[in-house]
Structure formats: C-alpha cells, structure tokens
Amino acid sequence: MRIRCRRDDAPSKAAVLKAAIGFVVFVLTVAICPPANAQLPSSLLPRNLSPWGMFLNADIVVKAVMIGLAFASVVTWTVWLAKTLELRRETSRARARLRMIQGRISRAEAVRACGTDTDAVAQLILSTAVEVDLSDGVLDDSFKERAALLLERVEAAMTRRVSRGVGILATIGATAPFVGLFGTVWGIMNSFIGISESQTTSLAVVAPGIAEALLATAMGLVAAIPAVVIYNHLVRVIAGYRALLGDASARLLMMISRECRGGPPLQRAMERPVVAHEAARIR
C-alpha cells in the first residue's frame, strides 16, 4: 500500500520562519543569561545603579574624576553669579556717567562730579585731569594725542578688571569633556578586567561597570556645556561694557578738543588732590 502525502501536509513557510526565530531567541537566551541554578559571586551581583550608587561603587580614579568635574561645575556657576552681578553694577554706573558727560557739562565740572569714585568712566575723567596737571595746563594737539593714549590705557585696564575670572570658564569648557572621557575609558578598562576575572559575559556583570564609566562622561558634559554658554554670554556683555567706555572716551576727547579751541577756562587738577591720587592709582 502506498501512502501519498498531500500538498496540504507540507509545512508552510510561515511555520518554518516562526520555528527558526524561536530557535534563535532560545540560543541567545541561553548564551546571555546564566542558568537558573548558576549563582554569581556576591561581588558580581547587580548593584545600585542610581547616580549616587554608581559613584560609591566606582573605582578610585573614576571617583576622583567625578569629584573634580563636580567642583568645576560649582566654580562655573559661582563665576557666573559673581560676574553677572559685577557687570550689571559696572554697566549701570557707566551708563549713568555717560549720560552725565553727554549733557552740557565741562570737563572740569565732570571732574568735580566724580569726586573719589572708582568706577571706570570716573577713572577716565580723572585720568585726563592728571594729564592736564602734568602738561601744566597747556592743551595743544600733542596733549590731545597723549590724552587719547591715556584713555585707551585706562579703558583697557578697566576692561581687564571686569574680565578677571572669565578665562577659567573657557578652560573648563575645553577640558571637562576630555576629563570625563578619561574617567570613562578607565572605568571601561576595569569592566573588561572584571569580565576576564569572572569568566562570564552576563549583563549583570558588565552593565554596572560600564554605567559607572559613562557617568563620568555625563558629568563632563554637565560641567562643560554651561561653562561654554556662560563664557560666550559674559564675553558679549564685556564687549558691550567696553563699547560704553569707548563712547565715554570719545566724549572726553571732544571736550578736550573744544577746550583747545578756546572753550571754557580750565581748572587745574592741583586744586583737587584726591583726583590726582585716584587717577595715579589706576595708571
């Protein structure tokens, strides 16, 4: 008796494909996950993977990198707060002084209005008074050239004063990612060493070390990105502040030019000894 198989009894392509997929999933599960009766050493069991837990379980070198990056982040925000308050105060004072000398006021009256103030525009005004004393009250073309050079020096000095501490933001922004990357590389090296010592490729062994290593890179980016943004912002604000000082210098030069043409009579700065003292300190 012959038994003939009908075409309907042959397995379909969909059934073969499902069987193949199931077999692949089974093989991957056996290869990655340890058997139920296999117990890992207690040191290789999954650890606390919260940021604080990863920091506590990290290698001493990775911990040092994270602490350094956290300190750099604190420095960044401290510089931002301090320089923002300083620049806001100095810009407000410079604008007030600029409005004063833009009115119908002589250079001598502006010098008296400054008194013993130490803001930038006041130092520009007082410096011209000192130069008048040194020139014996002779205002000629050479005096205008000397006054222009003096105002340029004082303007640069005042800009440097408000720029102190800003450069550290550029350093943090440039180096923090690489410091974090160093911590990541070191942590991954330790993870591979742990894999070779435990002779297992279980994710429970690999994941904690890699997560701790990647946390260093994350902290590097957290420190670097605000530093770069804050640095660019402060540079723009300082540029605007220096533009105000440039406007004040130009206004003072116009006052001197009018006096050279026979404007209001000069008042010697020797009558104001405190002016000479304050301006000489800046020079």
Q: Using an 8 Å Cβ cutoff, are 195 and 207 in contact?
A: no
Conformational region of residue 84, where left means phi above 0, alpha means psi within -120 to 50, and beta covers everything else? alpha
Quote the pLDDT of residue 12.
Answer: 55
% residues pLDDT > 70 (the chain): 67
- Residue 228 is predicted with a pLDDT of 95
CA 170 to chain centre: 6
Residue, of 70 and 111, whose pLDDT is higher: 70
Give the pLDDT of residue 55: 67
Average pLDDT along the chain? 75
Predicted confidence band of residue 1 (pLDDT cuts 50, 70, 90): very low
Residue 172 has pLDDT above 50, yes or no: yes
- The CB density around residue 90, as the number of other CB atoms within 10 Å, is 21
Contact 184, 54 (CB under 8 A): no
- The alpha-helical segments, DSSP class H, found in 103-140 are 107-114, 120-134
User: 205 phi and psi, to 5 degrees?
Assistant: -90, -40
Residue 84 per-residue DSSP state? H
Is the pLDDT higher at 270 or at 92?
92
Q: Report the pLDDT value the prediction gives residue 81, as an integer from 0 to 100.
A: 95
Which tokens sit at 274?
């405190």
Torsion of CA 161, 162, 164, 169, to 10 degrees: -160
Rounded Cα–Cα distance for residues 276 and 123 (Å) = 10
Kindly tell me the burial class for residue 249, based on how many C-beta atoms sit within 10 Å of its own C-beta (0-12, 13-18, 19 or more).
buried
At 196-241, the pLDDT tens digits run 776 766 666 667 777 777 888 889 999 999 999 999 999 999 999 9
CA angle centred on 224, ends 175 and 220, rounded to 5°: 75
